[in-house]
Amino acid sequence: MKQNKLFTFAVIAMIGFIVILALSNSIFLTIESGEKGVLFKRFSGGLEKEVTYDQGFHVIAPWNTMFVYDVRTNEGLEKMTVLSKNGLNISVELSFRYNPIPGEIGFLHDQIGTSYLSRIIIPEIRSATREVIGKYLPEELYSSKRETIQDEIFQRTSEAITEKHLNLDAILIREVILPETLQAAIERKLKEEQSSLEYEFRLERERKESERRVIEAQAKADANRILNASLTDKILQDKGIEATLELAKSPNSKVVIVGGQDGGLPLILNN
């Protein structure tokens, strides 16, 4: 009897071990870094939308299910062809960064599920891109308005997906492909505009240089007029005497004749 009881106990233990081993993936769960979980309770209320489980080891009942979401920022690429304001086809490649809002993954799972990228984000980006680029001419997208267009697409998309418990970090226009003839025409136009700006810059520089020379000449003329007005014969005679006396002090041999020139200024004769 004892042997039979031991055998029965061993069989039951073995069966229990096998069952636990088979259900281990459902009972024991590790949420990795950068992830969060939301629990579905099959027999007690369904999805816990307002409760999220952080990274680490968790033990759950085998009849419940833990849905794990990557809440780190991810990057996606999208290529599409859109119509510009004048009806021309433009190929655009966009990159975007996104992630689920960590504290709202329960609501995200309840309303959308894990396929939120293909069901929400990409369709919203495509819709916003068509609407925004449709307001601009190709040359504006190609050059001056590129950042403005990026910002408009980002704002429209961000507002739409935030309501769906998703976060958009950025949208960037990586590449714009225009019809070859149009691209060549735009490049010629931009080159001509650049040349025109350079020519205007040179003209402005020459104009300022001309103004500077006029001002400089006017200043010299004013200085000479003031100097001429202040000079008299008496002052010139005194200046001449002072200069003669200074020259007479030099060691060079000379003869000084006082009153030798018109006006009585001294005359210096070298030997």
CATH number, domain containing residue 79: 3.30.479.30
Residue 94 and residue 41 in one domain:
no
In sequence order, what are the beta bridge partners of 29?
Answer: 58
The helix-helix angle for 146-162 and 122-133 (nearest 10°) equals 140
Residue 219 and residue 248 in one domain:
no
Is the whole-model pTM more than 0.75? no
Q: What is the pLDDT of residues 197-209, one digit of tens each?
A: 777 778 788 888 8
In sequence order, what are the beta bridge partners of 172?
Answer: 95
Q: pLDDT value at position 214? A: 82
> Which of 178, 194, 215 represents a domain boundary (last residue)?
178
Residue 152 and residue 193 in one domain:
no
Residue 251 and residue 264 in one domain:
yes
Q: pLDDT value at position 78? A: 92
Residue 129 and residue 104 in one domain:
yes
Residue 65 and residue 14 in one domain:
yes
Phi, psi of 201 (to 5 degrees): -65, -45
Residue 165 and residue 239 in one domain:
no
Using CB atoms within 10 Å of the CB of residue 153, give its burial: 0 to 12 exposed, 13 to 18 middle, 19+ buried: buried
- CB neighbour burial string for 236-255, b if at least 16 within 10 angstroms, e if fewer: eeeeeeeebeeeeeeeeeee
- State mean pLDDT over 25-34: 80
Residue 40 and residue 97 in one domain:
no
**Distance in angstroms (rounded) separating the CA atoms of residues 153 and 175:** 15
- What sign for the dihedral angle of Cα 143, 146, 147, 152? positive
81: left (phi over 0), alpha (psi -120 to 50) or beta: beta
Residue 210 and residue 221 in one domain:
yes
pLDDT interval class at 184 (50, 70, 90) = low
Residue 199 and residue 215 in one domain:
yes
> Which of 161, 178, 195 represents a domain boundary (last residue)?
178
Domain range spanning residue 23? 2-70
Residue 100 and residue 174 in one domain:
yes
How much is the mean pLDDT over the chain? 79
Identify the three-state secondary structure at position 169: strand
Q: What is the pLDDT of residues 2-20, one digit of tens each?
A: 556 665 666 566 665 555 5
- For residue 216, pLDDT beyond 60: yes
- Residues near 101 by Cβ (< 8 Å), separated by ≥ 6? 71, 108, 162, 165, 166, 167
Domain count, the chain: 4
- The answer to whether residues 270 and 252 touch, using CB atoms and an 8 Å cutoff, is yes
More confident residue, 187 or 65: 65
Q: What is the pLDDT of residues 53-94, one digit of tens each?
A: 888 888 888 888 889 999 999 999 999 988 888 888 888 899
**Distance in angstroms (rounded) separating the CA atoms of residues 94 and 124:** 13
Residue 153 and residue 199 in one domain:
no
Q: pLDDT value at position 197? A: 74
